[in-house]
Amino acid sequence: MNKELFIRQIPLFASLSQEACAQLLKKLKTLDFQKGDIIVQEGDRGDSLYILESGLVKVVLGHGTDNPQVLARLRAGDYFGEMSLLTGEPRSATVIAAVETKALVLHKNELDELMKQYPSMALHFGRVLSKRLKDTSRLKTDRELYTIIAIYAEEEDRMARALLTVNLAASLVKETAKRVVVVDADGEAREVIQALNLNLPTSSVDGPDSYEDVLSRSDIDRFVLSHKSGIDFISIFHGASSRARTGEKDIAPLLSILKNRYDYVLINCASTLNTLIRRAMDHSDLVIYLTSTAPDHLAKCASTLQGFEDQFGYGSNKLMIGILEKGNTPLLSKDEIVERVKVNNVFFFAQDPYAVNSFLRTGYPFVFEYPNSILSLGVKRLARKIGQVSVGLALSSGAARGFAHVGVLKVLHAAGIPIDMIAGSSMGALIGGFYAAGVTPQELEDLVNSYTDRAKVRKTMYDLTLPKSGLAKGNSLIAMFRSQIGDITFERLQIPFIAIATDLRDGTEVKLRRGVVWEALRASGSIPMMFEPYYLQGRCLVDGGITNPLPTNVLVDEGMDIVISIVVNSVYARPTGPANPITSHGDTLLHSVFNELKGEISSPSDKPEQFKILDILFRTIGIMGAAIIEPQAKLADVDVRPDLSHIDWREFHRGPELIAAGVEAAEDALPAIRELLYERMKPEG
C-alpha cells in the first residue's frame, strides 16, 4: 500500500505539504490487533491518534456494563482518538477490534513536534476537528425498531395474509435469531392452525358468559403454543365464549406482556376493522397492508391507508405495502405503486402455489422447505428489513476491471451472505443486473472466461458505425445481454436492482428500476463517444459512471442496513505492456476505420506518451469516476477493493486474473461482513 496516498485521503492530513507528510510518515507506527482486543478504553487518558489501515472496529459506550451501546463501526481510512489527543480529556468510549485489524498510531509527543515544525498544521487540525464535531452531532441514528407488526388484508386475501404472517415469523427466527410470537387476531384462519398441527387450549371456566380468555388474563403461559419452526403462537379467541364480543375488547394489555417477552410480535389482523383490530394497529410499530395491483384494490388500499394516517397519526415510516402477485393483475413497478398509494415501503410477493400447498400439507413453513423459491426470497428479504440486517451491494464502474465483481459475488454467494438490493453503474450494472436476474456466479465466471478470446471481445464491443453519435452501435452488446437474461423486467428479478445512468441533456443521475432490464444495462454502459447514447423513458442516456460510479447513496436512501461497496476503479492505474500502451486488436481496427474515413493511411505513433482513442475514453471516465468514488465509499459499512492496479480498464481478455483478484479481496473482507451481520443477530439481554 502506498502510505502517502493513503494518508492524504484522510481529512486531517489532506493539505500537508510533501515535506510535512514525509515527516509524518516517519513517526507513524503500525500496530496489529486481534478480534476482541481493546484498542482504547473508555475513561483512560488519551495520548494517541489511531488511523485504521485495515479491519473493522466497534466504538462502544458503557463497555463491561449491563447495557453497552455500539455508537459506531469504523473501517479502513477512518480514525479515532484525535479529540482526547488534543484536549487531554479521557477517552469518551471504548474501541474494540471486531475482526483482525491493522492501525497506524501517532503519539501526542510526536504530533506536538510536527505542529511546532509546521504551525499551519495546527490551524488545519482545528478546522477539520471543528467540522468533525458538527458532523458527529448529525450522525444518522438507527431507524425505529419494529417490535409489534400488524399485518392486514381485505377479506379475499385473508388466507394469503395468514400464510405470509406465519412464514414471515419463521423467517425472522432464522434471519435474526430472535424470539418471535404470532398473535392470531382473526379467528377464521383455521387452515393455518390445522397446518401447523397446533392443539388449541380450551377455557378453564364453563358457562356461556365465560370471558377467561387470553385477553382477560396476565398469566398467558397456557395459551402459548410452540411450533417446531421456532415460533410461538397465540389465538386471542381460544377460550372466548363470543367472538363478536372479543372483537370489541382491548388487545393493548396482551401486547404489552408480549413485548416484554419477545423481540417481535406479529399480529394476523382480521379484515373487519373492529375495536380490537384498531387498537392492535394503534399499538403497532409497523402496519403491513397486503393487496394486489388490481386498480380497484390499489384505490381501496390508498383510501384505507389514508384513514389509518388520519386516525392513528401514522407517518409513511409506519406503513408498508405488500404486493400479492396474481395472474390476472397488472405487473407494476415500485415507483408506479408508490405514486398510487403514497407509501414508499413496498415489497413484492410472487406466486408459488406449489410451496404454499406444501406448507398447508406438512405444516412446515415454505421459507424453510423451499428457501430459494422467489416467494420465499421475498419473505426473507422483508424479515431482514424488519430485523435491520438487510444487505445492499454497490458495484462500481470500471470497464474491464468490472469482471472482478464476479469474484466478489462468488465469495459472498458461497458464504451465504444474503443480498437484498444491488445498485450498479456501467460494468457494475451489467454484472449486478445479471446476478439479480438469477445468473449464478459460476455462470458469470464462465461468461467472463469466454472473453479471453480477443476476437470475441472485438465482436461484442466493436460493432462499428459511422461516427455520428458514437463509434459503436451497441447492438452486439444487446444481443449478448438478451442471450443471458432474455427480456426479463425489473419486477421479475430475484433481487431488487437499480442501474445508474446519466441524462446527457441535463447531466443528472438517473436511477433505472422499471421496464426491461437489458435496456437499463445498455443505457448504464453507454460510454460517451464509444457507444451511441441510448434513448429510454424519454431520456438520452449515457454511462452511469459519469455521475455516480459507486451508488452507495442509492442503497442508503433505500434503507439498506449494511452497505457493501465493491470498488474496481482507481485513479492510480498504470498501463501494462510496452511503452506505447495501445496495441490491442480492437484499437488497430478502429484506427484502420478512421484512416479509411480520412482517405489516408498513417503509421501508429511511436511516442510512448501518446494514447489513442479507446485509452483516452476509458481513462478519462475512469479518472473522473475515481475522484467521485471516495466520498461514496465512505457511505459503505464494508469497502471491498480488489488490487487491480496492474490491469488496464480495456483489458477484457484478462478475466481470470480479475476474478481471482475479486475473490482475494472478498475473502479478506468476509470477517468484517459476518461481524456486522451476526452482531445484530445477538439476542438482547
Question: Which has the closest alpha carbon to 574: 608, 524, 530, 531?
Answer: 608
Residue among 425, 426, 524, 565 flagged as catalytic: 426
Cβ atoms within 10 Å of 599's Cβ, excluding its own: 6
Q: Which residues contact 389 (CB under 8 A, 6 or more apart)?
A: 175, 176, 561, 562, 677, 680, 681
For 494, list phi and psi in degrees, rounded to 5.
Answer: -75, -30
For 11, list phi and psi in degrees, rounded to 5.
Answer: -50, -35
For 498, list phi and psi in degrees, rounded to 5.
Answer: -130, 125
Are the CB atoms for 174 and 228 separated by under 8 Å? no
Q: Please provide the size of the chain in residues.
A: 685
Residue written as cell 443471458?
A: 484
Torsion of CA 642, 648, 650, 655, to 10 degrees: -50
What would the DSSP string read from start to end of 107-124? Answer: EHHHHHHHHHH-HHHHHH
Question: Is 271 an annotated catalytic residue?
Answer: no
Are the CB atoms for 346 and 334 separated by under 8 Å? yes
Which DSSP symbol is given to 141? P
Q: Which residues contact 488 (CB under 8 A, 6 or more apart)?
A: 437, 516, 517, 518
CA 685 from chain centre, in angstroms, equals 28
b/e for 166-188, b at 16 or more Cβ within 10 A?
A: bbbbbbbbbbbbbbbbbbbbbbb
Classify 75 as helix, strand or coil.
Answer: strand
Q: Beta strands 319-324 and 101-107: pairing type?
A: unpaired
Classify 564 as helix, strand or coil.
Answer: strand
Question: Which has the closest alpha carbon to 280: 270, 290, 289, 295?
Answer: 270
CA angle 47, 48, 50 (to 5 degrees): 160
Question: Is 15 an annotated catalytic residue?
Answer: no
Amino acid at residue number 599: G
Q: Which residues contact 442 (CB under 8 A, 6 or more apart)?
A: 410
What would the DSSP string read from start to end of 649-666? Answer: TT-GGGHHHHHHHHHHHH
Residue among 184, 186, 543, 615 flagged as catalytic: 543
> Where would I find the H helices in 499-612?
517-524, 552-557, 585-598
Are the CB atoms for 225 and 232 separated by under 8 Å? yes
Question: Which has the closest alpha carbon to 480: 437, 434, 524?
Answer: 434
Q: Beta strands 319-324 and 286-291: pairing type?
A: parallel
Catalytic residues, which ones?
426, 543
